[in-house]
Chains A and B, each alone.
Chain A
Amino acid sequence: MSTAVARRSSLPGFGLTMGLTLTWLSVIILIPLAGLFLKTLELSPIQFWEILTSRRTLNALKISFGLSFAAACVNLVMGTIIVWALVRYRFPGRRLFDAIVDIPFALPTAVAGVALTQLFAQKGWLGAPLAELGIKVAFTPIGIFIAMVFIGIPFVVRTVQPVLIDLDPEIEEAAASLGANRWHTVFRVIMPSLIPALLTGFALAFARAVGEYGSVIFIAGNLPNVSEIAPLLIVIRLSEFRYADATAIAVVMLLASFVIIFAVNRLQRWAQTRIPAH
């Protein structure tokens, strides 16, 4: 059925591009992932279950997913505010700030980790005043959270920015002529139009934080059960040559991430059908 449709299509190249797409996705993504699943088969179901329900694994997963979620939430709010300022106002240095947003994309994560650790260490610029207040950031879960916020922010900004730029100024004028004040216009008209983009940005920031390794391990302190993220636990298991253990944790992370991303995707699709681009 679908090939028949494709054959009748006036757009050539379906066979070639589809073939390349499938091959490429297989080689780059599907085969490595299948290897991951195969490796876990070395474990019996009971062993598998024991690894997953061990206190250390559960805590690592909780830290990874919980802090990623929190960081994505903060990025959603702050990213939206930053986008608003960058798109709606003209101020000196706007282009510079716009460029700065991309730094977490490009900076090697280890560099970011070292820099954040220095900054938030007990004698660091920000760490010292915070320590006076009794807040310890570096080598605690708060440090992990800050690293995750750092690497996630551009995802929200870069997905929402083009949508806000394209938003028709007439709908704001329409709202004003109907008697809406700025508050109503922003929260009843503008924000709802941005929902699909906000969801995408949130999902990307979340996914990035779950997978983050480099910047986090420097600032986390990596105490088992307290500030040890799941990716680090995987690396530790690998260094102990407990490959099956490592893959078991990896498989759970993979499935959990997939379920979450898929759910956000569906949510975003649903919002998109209600708010088509034009």
Chain B
Amino acid sequence: MTIEVKNIVKKFGSFAALDNVDLKVGKGELLALLGPSGSGKTTLLRIIAGLDWPDAGEVTIDGEDALGHGASERHVGFVFQHYALFRHMTVFENVAFGLRVQPRAVRKDEATIRARVKELLDLVQLDWLANRYPSQLSGGQRQRIALARALAIEPRILLLDEPFGALDAKVRKELRQWLRSLHSEIHVTSIFVTHDQEEALEVANRVVVMDKGRIEQIGTPGDVYDNPATAFVHGFIGESIVLPVEVAGGSVRLGGQPLNITADGAAPGASKLFVRRHDMQIGPAGTGSLEGAVRHVRSFGPIQRAEIALSGGEGKTVIEIDAPRDRELQAGEIIGLQPRRYRIFAAQD
């Protein structure tokens, strides 16, 4: 089912949680809303669910106005960060809740409800916990039950608010893969909110990067990582080296020294040079447009991470780079550095 959000504005006092947000979600998508805390991503999700109301704008689900209906009429599945399971009900009754509170006219008979709950518990692979209470379950199990409960009403769309935020790292990774395979199985249009870029890039088909109540970029995980649209996205997704530079007449200067890179059409003036850690080519001293002394090297797996104090520029600028281990760096060594891929954005402040 499709979701369309138009010109949504939401203010809490003078703070604009959402500032003219537009978003279209296609049928069967698995979309991530990614951003730091306070970026408005959860507010947007809650507005789509009917748990919050915008000050202005439109929300349509399948072309039908949603803002005229409350959460209970929208037929939207919602999964909370802290599960929000009903503590006084068994797992079975939790999942059955949405079916039991349906209006009498459409409510299924007991046998159908039981069969449906059983089916959902099988889907989340927890049928053996049917008679337990939520307090007897682990965090990961609780979240899977919360998901089964949300799916019980056959929602038009599924919304997940930081679904793995309260879980430890290992369980989080497992559930991530599990959610993705579950989505390819049931294909319900889904939006999940996360502040964890790895989670967004790994699970979603499309990622919406948000900051300060605005959408910075919408794209596939590959897009937002490789072609960040703004300085914020470049800095937020993946690890970046950021250097303050000056663009003038097609050349790029760092602390007055020209760098051997092209301005790539960047506007003249104070700018920021963004380079991914692994996009910094290392060579002997004197090669490349930057030079620095290796201060510290840590090697793990296929890479070595080096802390490098750049020479030149004002004072000491220290950057961290990731290099392959084919040439082991030594602390104290002077090396040359050349950005292989880079982006230049105008400095905003």
Contacts and interface: CB of A to CB of B under 8 A. Distances in A.
B150 A178 contact: yes
B186 interface: no
A178 B51 contact: no
B87 A193 contact: yes
B97 A173 contact: no
A184 interface: yes
Contact of B82 (A170, A178, A179, A192): A170
A191 to B, nearest CB: 9
A184 to B, nearest CB: 4
B72 interface: yes
Nearest to B78: A177
Interface residues of A, number: 21
Interface string A168-207: 1011011111111100100011001101000000000000
A174 B89 CA distance: 14
B84 A174 contact: yes
B3 to A, nearest CB: 15
A189 B84 CA distance: 11
A48 B115 CA distance: 62
B86 interface: yes
B72 A180 contact: yes
Contacts of A174: 78, 80, 84-86, 146, 149
B88 A168 contact: no
A180 B75 CA distance: 11
B98 interface: yes
Nearest to A184: B101
Given A173-B84, A188-B97, A181 B51 contact: no
A79 B102 CA distance: 30
Nearest to B106: A179
Contact of A173 (B51, B89, B101, B102): B51
B88 A275 contact: yes
A193 B87 CA distance: 7
A184 B71 CA distance: 14
Contacts of A195: 88
B77 interface: yes
A190 B142 CA distance: 20
Contacts of A192: 86, 88-89
Interface in A47-96: none
Nearest to A172: B84
A186 to B, nearest CB: 12
A170 B80 CA distance: 8
A274 interface: yes
A170 B84 contact: yes
Given A170-B82, A177-B76, A177-B77, A274 B88 contact: yes
A176 B135 contact: no
15 contacts: A174-B78, A174-B80, A175-B101, A176-B51, A176-B70, A177-B74, A177-B76, A177-B78, A178-B101, A178-B153, A180-B101, A181-B101, A188-B97, A192-B86, A193-B88
Given A274-B88, A276-B135, 8 more contacts: A171-B84, A171-B87, A175-B97, A176-B51, A176-B72, A178-B98, A178-B150, A195-B88
Interface of A: 168, 170-171, 173-181, 184, 188-189, 192-193, 195, 274-276
